[in-house]
Structure 1
Amino acid sequence: MATPLKQQFPLPAQTLIRRGKCHDCGGPVQWLTSKSGAVYYNCYNSSAEGDPCQAHHRVGGRGSRDLRRAYLVASGEIQPVKIGKPADAQKSPVDGRNENQAPAPKKEAQTPPAAKNGGEYAEYGI
């Protein structure tokens, strides 16, 4: 069974992932991790009139996992890993086909054109 997204690249709760701007007011915010592993921010900035922004943004499972991984790579705790083809697939002989191209369309049987003596409805008298 695969590891759930929340358990991949675990970090303690309230870990500061990055600093950014609020999507609503443009003020500075801190992206944090929750105890369940999700990445989020809450904006407590206020406008010039004194109205609080109170915006919040939550990132989904895959996005949170990717942000946690990027944080760990940037901090040097884990090494970035490039995912590629297995070594066996790279050494296999090429048989002339390219996996990245669409297959050629199948040639369908073409019907002969209608006869010149009245067309396809000539037998009905039209």
Structure 2
Amino acid sequence: MSIDFLPDKPIYQQLIDRILGDIMRGTLAAGEKLPSVREYAVEVGVNANTMQRVYKELEQMEITETRRGQGSFVTEDQKKILALRDEMKEQLVTTFLQSVAAFGFTTDEIVKCLQERGGEHD
């Protein structure tokens, strides 16, 4: 299953975001083993070096850990996962608010739109 990558963002960053999303949604559980670098690279259709960089970045973020001879695993530290979730939420909200302001929408317009569409993506 190859992924259609966005042209305006590095592929490795898109893969990091994908894995972080899987962790935050619970698709990848705390303590769960990740596929090997080669397996994941083949699955998403990228070079193994790109996947190696993704895994290295995730480990530097302390979201995953490598166990010698066993592979890479999602952290079991729920506090780190919750902190990541909060950080991502703040980043998304900040980006959203900057976009809203750039287009000149009022807070009332946006709140009304969000309330109207509230349950669409739950």
Range class of TM-score, shorter chain: under 0.3
Name the structure with the higher helix share.
Answer: 2
Give the structure with higher Rg (CA). Answer: 1
Name the structure with the higher strand share.
Answer: 1
TM-score by structure 1 length? 0.24
Q: Which has the higher contact order (CA 8 A, sep 6+)?
A: 2
